[in-house]
A and B are shown apart, each in its own frame.
Chain A
């Protein structure tokens, strides 16, 4: 994502060119929509929340500090918004996308051997992510999926940089423990001769 390009678009929007904002919506709709869907597990809610996030960001755009990155700022708005939604409606983050495996087009993979393995891997990952607390999950997705730096994750999740690093590292360790729990247990038994 071109930082200077985002800045130019924001400058144009603030100068009154409303249509320029559609470029930003198109550019970031996928991660924002996926964030909402991961948290709510509902297409309907994800669409509403994503829309509201972009509208909120537009309304607050004059408070955006030019020179910083737009996506972490947008993500903060989205993440706070979906959290408030879940809190308000007393929903559990644990519902996270029980249908995600089906929704994310894994069935579209052809049944070659490697792809079957890949599908199994993703199934393990989905199950692991589902058990992971939402803060850890989002930190991992921002870093390894969206490719954000620790500085950007810190902005997006409103943490210090060392806090963001800690969040990612802890999340990875927890996820490892969840996904490979059985394997590790077997190895431990073998290595101790039990």
Chain B
């Protein structure tokens, strides 16, 4: 004999409409697996599963096939479909070995190319012809001096000059790509002064002057 169960609201105290019941169950329905509440619902689900189908008429398939024309896709549509179709790739470690070797060699070559370019830190012009530039400044009273300019975004870190005790000159040699640069000397980390030996100066727009350095291949290796 089938077990009798009554349909009850969420508070399990009184029967109610489907809508009332679902108001309380909405959250539960959207999360987690489907809830089958009782034997009667299971029974209905089972009946639906066994619902007999009506046999389609035998002329359905032939009548459909008769009405069809062969497909003719444009080549770009075929290409799109091919590109948009998931592909599975099967490989064995032995098959993958040449690919891995190729990637390793490519990586080594790339690393070598990168490291062979000196002073890569100079950025976008690093592929061009470079020249060695020696900056000198005679300023005995300074405690620290750095070269700052458009080639290092006016940041002195890493561009500190060294004091040559014999000549009493602050000095730094840099390798710079061809180009036009504005620069100055950052003294004691506080003030920027122009190079007194520069040939060209330019106003910086704030009432100060920057030194200008123009590097071209014909200018020679030493500036």
Contacts from A to B (Cβ < 8 Å): 11, 13-16, 18-19, 21-22, 25-26, 29-31, 33-34, 37, 43, 47, 50-51, 54-55, 58, 61-62, 65-67, 100, 103-106, 118, 121-122, 125, 128, 140-141, 144-145, 150, 162, 165-166, 168-170, 172-177, 179-180, 183-184, 187-188, 191
Contact = CB atoms under 8 A, between A and B. Distances in A.
Contacts of A31: 53
B95 interface: no
Residue from B48, B63, B67, B72 whose CB has the most chain A CB atoms within 10 Å: B48
B47 interface: yes
Given A165-B30, A169-B29, A169-B35, A25 B65 contact: yes
Q: Is the interface of A mostly helix, strand, loop or mixed?
A: helix
B68 A176 contact: no
Given A100-B54, A141-B48, 19 more contacts: A18-B65, A22-B61, A22-B64, A25-B60, A34-B54, A34-B56, A47-B63, A61-B71, A62-B81, A67-B86, A104-B51, A106-B52, A121-B43, A122-B52, A144-B48, A166-B29, A170-B18, A175-B44, A187-B6
A37 B47 contact: no
Contacts of A170: 18, 22
Given A65-B84, A184-B6, A51 B29 contact: no
28 contacts: A15-B71, A18-B65, A25-B60, A30-B53, A33-B56, A34-B53, A51-B67, A55-B64, A58-B64, A65-B84, A66-B86, A100-B54, A105-B52, A122-B47, A122-B51, A125-B47, A144-B48, A145-B51, A162-B29, A162-B31, A165-B30, A170-B18, A172-B36, A172-B41, A173-B21, A177-B17, A180-B40, A187-B4
Contact of B18 (A103, A150, A173, A180): A173
Nearest to B86: A67
Contacts of B71: 13-16, 18, 58, 61-62
B73 A55 contact: no
A25 B60 CA distance: 8
Contact of B45 (A16, A67, A105, A172): A172
